[in-house]
Structure 1
Amino acid sequence: FTLHKCIYLLQQTLENNLTNLIKRNEELENQMAKLIQICQQVEMNTAMHEAKLMDECDELVEIIRQRKQVITVKIKESKVMKLRKLAQQIANCRQCLERSSALITQAEQSLKENDHARFLQTARNIAEKVAMATASSQILIPDVNLNDAFDTFALDFSREKKILEGLDYLTAPSPPSIREELCTASHDTITAHWSSEDEFSVSSYELQYAIYTNQTNFINLYSSEDSWMIVPNIKQNHYTIHGLQSGTRYVLIVKAINQAGSRSSEPVRLKTNSQPFKLDPKMAHKKLRLSNDFLAMEKEESSLKKSHTPERFSSTSSYGVAGNVFIDSGCHYWEVLLGACTWYAVGIAYKSAPKNEWSGKNSSSWVFSRCNNNFMVRHNGKDMLVEASLQLRRLGVLLNYDNNALSFYDAMNSQHLHTFEISYLLPVVPTFMIWNKSLMILSGLPVPDFADSSEGEVCISREHESPYTPGRKSCH
């Protein structure tokens, strides 16, 4: 029995080792096949580059030959022109010289004449000709002097020689670097800036961008060409992208390109600002005063002198105003400076929401509210108390239309207060109501990091859940 067991164990061990050895041999064969394939590819690439090198050098030689011919023709044309001028001047000088020699002979013979009468007869005529010949010979100045013949032309190929001596392999440029500190954004644009270590070897840049979300698998996004918008053939180190969604985060990549290939920058995430808006005076209650820039609202206090508490129990006491923009996409963030206001409601509503009713009292509006010392959120007439500091002075509102969420924050303390989950059916408008004091809005802001990081981790209030908490006070 022991012998059979040993044989069996040895057989199993040998079979396992044999299987591993066969597997290892297969791996080595695959690896060797890959190496052979790479060697063949190296041979093909080398032959291709050598052929390309010969073509490029032949093209350079042909350019030099053609330039040599052109310059040689110019030199010969300059020579012919100058020699033609000089030959003409030599002929003129020869004619003058012959006439002068003849006059000299006549003048010498006249001077030898002893007969005064005959001398006077010939000397006057000869003297005038000598004078005219002398004057004409003084103006025979050459058009081409010695310096002009040699110093007006020079050959200097020192720059070209340095360029030729510097000929080498052209490699793809180094990856550019996106300068986040220089990039700027508005509600529908992003201006990207980048730098390159060897920008002189870059023929153009290509900018790629896509919408980025926290759920995005960046590796899959990067490999999917359909996900990217591409801006080719950029010659500068900056570019402004137009027509973007408000309050949206984008991922950007820049490619540096030349004839040898391209290299890409590291991806960078940039976000657009929120849609800017103001208070709409046409939608304001008659007892509200709006500032000249339509960014602040104030409640008239005359009605409060008759009562120590705001008119919060009346169905007509909706002292509200809406923003002048309807939002149907993107992510938007604005803040409300509350000051000393202790009775207010801030949120959003559909256009169909009743105008003379407190926001949140119907199914078409959602608000965060303060009633004296109580903070609550309201929708469809139902309240839920929210923990917040009595020193809350800056309320942040994050409307993520695409992700079906409306969130409120204590912006000064970067604290999340509440999030509604809303299946938006229509465009929504920001709404504001006060029952005392005043408030101011700040719109067109970028989504702050604390709001970005808290998305997905906050407490969600679903529309179908009952927000009532027994024993807690509601503000109707």
Structure 2
Amino acid sequence: MDSQREALQRIITTLANKDDEIQNFIETLNHTLKNVQVNTTKVMIDLEEEFGALQATLDEMKASMVNKIKQEQTYKSQELQNQLTICNNALESSEELLDYANRTLSTNDPEAFTKAAKQIKDSTEMKLIFTRAGVTMAPAFRLSLKPKISDNMTHLMVDFFHEKQMLRSLKFLPVPRAPEIDLADCLVADNCATVVWRMPEEDHKIDHYILEYRKTNYEGPPRVKEERNWDIIDNIKDTEYTLTGLKFESKYMNFRVRACNKAVAGDYSEPITLETRGFNFTFDGTTSHQNLKVDDFTVEWDSSGGKGQESRIKGKENKGSGQISLKKNKMSGTPSPKRTFVSGRPASARTNRDRFTGESYTVLGHVSFYNADTKQLLHTFKTKFTQPVIPAFMVWCGGLNLYTGLQVPSAIKSLQKGDGGLGGSENSLTGLAQ
């Protein structure tokens, strides 16, 4: 009966997990469908804007070329009109001379005829005309009878055959393919996360990459209805990136990356989920001295009596361990609290207290304390532990800052594998890291 219940419970758990996955996938599909509609509207608007800009450019070029043709027309018309005016004036002068000559032929006075004929001859030879206003050159004899301007306008003709071919070859922008994240090469250590990716095929037009990440407490694929937004790292030139100084207050982190050329960004890679094991805990104000001001992450000595025992913050659930940064001590005449060490056991540890009382075991281990700012080793305890180890601190005329959501540094892990590596206080994380 018990085995059947266990089997049924496993089936129920499996089905519940599968239902959760399917529900998440349905939400993803609905979100994708909505984005398809939104993005379609966006690209349609962009297309209209681009063609509008193209049409505006064509209209601008057309107006410029039409203006050039009109200027050429005005210039040629003006030059021809000026030449036509000169010719008309010359024709009028020539006709006057011709009329004077005809009248001279009809005269019967020999003396007047001789005089007039001589004047006409001299005026034609000297290109002069005698008028009442005086003597002028005959325009008909100094006039060029060749047009100054040609009526040809072929130099302003156009042929947009190649341009039309180019317009017919208009196409959508080439989009980079989605990168592939190499899960085996990704690393989470020392509160840093390194993500490595590659392109499915070589693409020399890629300009940079965009990495997006967010924290989550779900192990599977990223969920659409996630409380946290994606954080963005832009303009990455390499195919890997390391996020440093992270605080792991969640169990996992989602990562995705996309490639960009000079114009557009491509699709996201398949997202990955990396486990981010960090140690999180807070100070237990219910176990502190009454002259201490205690909140979740800071402790300060207060000679005026702190907040009083009645207003102390209740202990919160223990989530692991972290690092302690010692505040600089300030000298004071305030006496120190009694050296009665009170266990800093959090609530969850107290709820499981009975489970440990009936067990008997001994563990030989090390407990080391480092300065979180300088990475200098403060002290190491080597002893046999027969009960769960809960850190407790004495604060006098100073304070403590708690840094949580951290990982055990790799340098400490490597020393723990050695013999007596943590024995001397001259060791430090800085030296080990080097």
TM range (shorter): 0.3 to 0.5
Structure having the larger proportion of residues in strand: 1
TM-score normalized by the length of structure 2: 0.38
TM-score normalized by the length of structure 1: 0.35
